[in-house]
Amino acid sequence: MHEMSLAEGVLQIVEETARRENARRIKLVVLEIGRLSSVQPDALRFCFDAVTRGSMADGTTLDIVDVPGSGWCLQCMATVPMQELYGACPTCGSHQVQPTGGTEMRVKEIEIE
C-alpha cells in the first residue's frame, strides 16, 4: 500500500544498525514480508532502489522472504491458510478467522562490510 514510506523506514533501521557496527557499506538486506501485510514486494523493491541511492545501502541486494498467511478459524477450530486479511475460511466460509501468521513486516538481518 505505502511502499515508498515503508522503504524509508527500512533504510532508517538498517543505516542505524550499520553505523553502530562501524560498517562502510550494506551489501544485503533481508526482510520478512507476510502475505497478509498488504505490502506489494515488487513495489517495495522499486521504492527501496530509489530511496537507497547515495546512501550506505546503495546497490544493496534486497532479499524479501515471503511468509504465507494463516489464521485460526473459530468455526473449524483449526489453523487454515489465508489469502487475504479479513477473508473467509477456505473450509467453511466463515469470516471468524483470526490471522495468526503472515502479517509480519520486519527487517530480519543485514550483511555489512
Instruction: Give contact residues for another protein (rule: CB under 8 A).
Output: 1-2, 4-6, 8-10, 12-19, 21-24, 27-28, 74, 85-86, 95-96, 104-113
Nearest residue (CB) to another protein, 12 versus 40: 12
The answer to whether 47 is a known ligand-binding residue is no
How far is residue 14's CA from residue 112's CA, in Å, rounded to a whole number? 10
Q: Which residues contact 87 (CB under 8 A, 6 or more apart)?
A: 95, 97
> Residue 61 corresponds to which cell in the numbers above?
541486494
The answer to whether 95 is a known ligand-binding residue is no
Nearest residue (CB) to another protein, 42 versus 86: 86
How far is residue 10's CA from residue 105's CA, in Å, rounded to a whole number? 10
The answer to whether 76 is a known ligand-binding residue is yes
CB of 21 to another protein, least distance (A): 6
